[in-house]
Amino acid sequence: MGGMLEGQATKDGTSRYVQRCAGRMPAEHFREMAGGARASTLGLGTYLGREDEVTDGLYRKAVTRALERGVNVLDTAINYRHQRSERAVGAALAAAVRAGGVKRDEIVVATKGGYLAFDGEVPSDPRAYFVATYVRTGIIQPGEVVGSHCITPRYLLDQLERSRANLGLATIDVYYVHNPEQQLDEVERPQFLTRMRDAFVALEGAVAEGKIQLYGAATWNGFRTDPGERGHLSLAELVGLAREAGGTDHHFRVVQLPYNLAMPEAFTRANQKLEGGFFSTLDAARHLGVYVMASAAVLQGKLTQALPAAFADLMPGLATDAQRAIQFVRSTPGIGTALVGMKSTAHVDDNVGVAAVPPLGGEQVKRLFSEG
Ligand SMILES: NC(=O)c1ccc[n+]([C@@H]2O[C@H](COP(=O)([O-])OP(=O)(O)OC[C@H]3O[C@@H](n4cnc5c(N)ncnc54)[C@H](OP(=O)(O)O)[C@@H]3O)[C@@H](O)[C@H]2O)c1
């Protein structure tokens, strides 16, 4: 498609970005992903907000500011704000590249597919839109949808093309299957695992075609629940499917999961089975070579005020509760990037303050649990 930005996040490109930030923030603000790209410990999320032009404009401004201030990870999904968030991210990134502020290879862009998405707004007849767009075109067959969720190869590859167009990117750095555990609401586990393997085969194909760089799973409850619970996800099992799909050099290298002061399960709960016993999801991810992005890092805004006073003492050098909540997330061993939804440039300015201070050590994070 004309006008698409070519390229992807690379080791060289992101190192150039890190270099430009060097005077303002320590290098520990960036962490290496599979493939060598260096990702900032704070990323900008685009889930919340109204589906209107005012909010589109806010997101465009916030993304522009974030790229200027040391955030090189952008997270979106095709269904966020009915595709408007992807389009806002794409517009802001294209403008920043045109203006010479950043280059494509400096920025990690992640999006997700799985949920049915409307086109900009809720249509007057949602069912008719769904039938015309997906059923009559043969993209979705009867029995393939769980709720409003579908992960068949044909559907995901269709969604990937739409996301590439919305973002204006030839290559998306990270493509997540969005909340795959949703399928377990209706589908038994063996069939779920077959569906996931088929999805991974398709995504390995998309990697080979240069349409994505890496893929993974963005999750909500999947890694927070115990084995035996219906919606539980086993990271080792998913990586096993990726190996079947892509061999030992498979590209299932990133997961997203909620993690914040009020949702610490990824760190605290030993619910992931590996050879040798049960481990936390963060330990399992490290062991399996999977980078972790934490979503809802400030619990949808609720952790940006009124944290216990002890936190300020345990985290000197930070000015606000938002920064402290983010510092907790980015400092937790095994977390790569803390994603924070930001459509306000004031919030970007506040939150990037955390980047000036190195992350805490693991022992200090443990003290936050006991004393905070
Ligand atoms: N299952 C999944 O895949 C999944 C689920 C949830 C989230 N995510 C991803 O993770 C990202 C982050 O999660 P989230 O957006 O749900 O929740 P969040 O990051 O915990 O919170 C975002 C909210 O906090 C506000 N905020 C940010 N910084 C602030 C500050 N310094 N002071 C006061 N308020 C502040 C934002 O306001 P403004 O927007 O007005 O700046 C927004 O309302 C999402 O945007 C999305 O990209 C993925």
Probe residue for ligand 1, chosen from 41, 44, 48, 302 as the CB with the greatest number of ligand atoms within 8 Å = 48
Residue 47 CA to ligand 1 center (angstroms) comes to: 7
Q: What pLDDT is recorded for position 371?
A: 73
Q: What pLDDT is recorded for position 148?
A: 95
Give me the CATH topology for the region 21-371.
TIM Barrel (3.20.20)
Place of tokens 């559907």: 155
Residue 45 CA to ligand 1 center (angstroms) comes to: 6
Q: What pLDDT is recorded for position 277?
A: 96
Q: Is 81 in the pocket of ligand 1 (CB under 6 A)?
A: no
User: SS in 3 state form for 114-178?
Assistant: CECCCCCCCCCCHHHHHHHHHHCCCCCCCCCCECCECCCHHHHHHHHHHHHHHHCECCEEEEEEE
Q: What pLDDT is recorded for position 2?
A: 54
The domain ranges of the chain are 21-371
Q: What pLDDT is recorded for position 372?
A: 65
Q: Is 42 in the pocket of ligand 1 (CB under 6 A)?
A: no
CB 89 within 8 A of CB 59: yes
Q: Is 48 in the pocket of ligand 1 (CB under 6 A)?
A: yes
Q: What is the value of pTM for the model shown?
A: 0.98
Measured at the CA of 89, the angle between CA 83 and CA 90, to 5 degrees, comes to 90
Cα 224 to Cα 68, 238, 289, 338, distances in angstroms: 34, 15, 19, 17
Measured between its terminal Cα atoms, the distance across the chain in Å is 52
Q: Is 239 in the pocket of ligand 1 (CB under 6 A)?
A: no
Q: Is 347 in the pocket of ligand 1 (CB under 6 A)?
A: yes
What average pLDDT values come out for the chain (372 residues) when binned by 10 residues?
A: 87 98 94 97 98 98 98 98 98 98 98 97 96 97 94 98 98 98 97 98 98 98 96 98 98 98 96 96 98 97 90 92 97 98 98 96 86 69
